Amino acid sequence: MCDALGEIFAAGGNAKAAGRVGVCIATCGPGDTNLVTGLADGMMDSIPMVAITGQVPRRMIGTDAFQATPIVEVTHAITKHNYLVLDIKDLPRWHWNSWALA
């Protein structure tokens, strides 16, 4: 798909139709903010989804960098859980936790 808004609704539709976890990936900034409506819909309808987003370089988090959004804070109320992975070594643990929660 070409945009995150379509991707998140496709992930939700796939999860409902196939009976498995829906997955989508988006870039930071406009990509991750376009996921918000679909994530809220998924939370309200108990649709199992995992959304993976990009992030600005670690040293630029919180500096008002181009296309940086505080997506963890933005999505806190509309997700079961969300993670900001700061160390690549933590990725496997967060990956499996995400699937278990979905």
Q: Domains in the chain and their CATH numbers?
A: 4-12+19-101 (3.40.50.970)
Please compute the mean of the pLDDT values over residues 41-69 and round it to a whole number. Answer: 86
Q: Which tokens go with 68? A: 């940086």
| CA dihedral of residues 25, 31, 37, 43 (deg, nearest 10) | 30
Tell me the average pLDDT across 2-23. 93
Measured CA distances, 22 to 39, 65, 66, 67, 94 (Å): 11, 30, 29, 25, 17
87: Cβ contacts below 8 Å, ≥ 6 apart: none
Average of per-residue pLDDT across 52-59: 82
Average pLDDT, the chain: 89
Tens of pLDDT, residue by residue over 13-53, are 999 999 999 999 998 888 899 999 999 999 999 999 999 98
Q: pLDDT value at position 63?
A: 80
